[in-house]
Chains A and B, each alone.
Chain A
Amino acid sequence: MVAWRAAFAVPLLVTVTIVMFALAQASPFDPVRQYLGERALVTSPEVVESIRQNWGLDRPVLEQYATWFGNLVSGELGESRSLHRPVSEIIGERLGWTLLATGSALVLMFAGSLVVGTLAAWRRGSWVDRVITGGAFANEAAPVFWLGLLAIWVFAVQLGWLPAGGLTDAASTTIDPADVAAHLVLPVAVLAISQSSWLVLYVRESVIGVLREDFVIGARARGLRERTVIVRHALRSALLPFLTLLGARMPELVTGAILVETIFSWPGVAAASVQAALAVDFPLLAALTLLGTAAVLAGNLLADIAYTVADPRVRTLGVG
Chain B
Amino acid sequence: MPVRFAAGTLVLLALAVLLVPPVVQLDQSLVDLRAAGQPPSLSHPLGTDEVGRDVLIRSIYGLRVSFLVGLVAALVSMVIGGLMGLAAGTLGGLPDRLLMRVVDGFNALPHLLFGIFIVALFAPSATAVVISVGVTHWTTAARIVRSEVLSLRSRPFVEAAISGGSTRMRVVRRHLLPHLFPHLTLATVLMMPHAIWHETALSFLGLGLPPHLASLGNMINDGQRSLLTGDWWSSLMPGLFILVPTLAVSVLAQHWRDRRSPRWRSELEL
Contact = CB atoms under 8 A, between A and B. Distances in A.
Interface residues of A, number: 53
Interface stretch (B41-49, B51-59, B200-208): B200-208
Contacts of B213: none
B112 interface: yes
Interface in A151-198: 152-153, 156-157, 164
A297 interface: yes
Contacts of B230: 157
14 contacts: A12-B108, A23-B118, A29-B123, A141-B243, A141-B250, A145-B204, A149-B220, A149-B224, A153-B236, A157-B232, A251-B109, A255-B112, A258-B113, A293-B109
Nearest to B197: A143
Q: Can you list the 10 inter-chain pairs with the closest CB atoms, starting with the nearest?
A: A146-B239, A277-B120, A254-B110, A27-B121, A141-B246, A141-B247, A255-B112, A251-B110, A292-B113, A292-B110
Contacts of A156: 228
Nearest to B123: A28
Interface residues of B, number: 47
B124 to A, nearest CB: 9
B57 to A, nearest CB: 20
A95 interface: no
A15 interface: yes
Contact of B251 (A137, A254, A282): A137
A143 B242 contact: yes
A149 B108 contact: no
Chain B interface, DSSP helix/strand/loop, else mixed: helix
A259 interface: yes
Interface of B: 101, 104-105, 107-114, 116-123, 193, 197, 200-201, 204-207, 220, 223-224, 227-228, 230, 232, 235-236, 239, 242-244, 246-247, 250-251, 254, 268, 270
Contacts of A295: 110
A212 B270 contact: yes
Interface of A: 8, 12, 15-16, 20, 23-24, 27-29, 137-138, 140-143, 145-146, 149-150, 152-153, 156-157, 164, 208, 212, 248, 250-251, 254-255, 258-259, 262-263, 273-274, 276-278, 280, 282, 285-286, 288-289, 292-293, 295-297, 300
Most chain A CB neighbours (cut-off 10 Å) among B109, B117, B197, B235:
B117
A152 B247 contact: no
Contacts of B235: 149
Nearest to B248: A141
Contacts of A250: 110
A157 B227 contact: yes
A137 B121 CA distance: 35
Contact of B109 (A16, A23, A150, A274): A16
B108 A143 contact: no
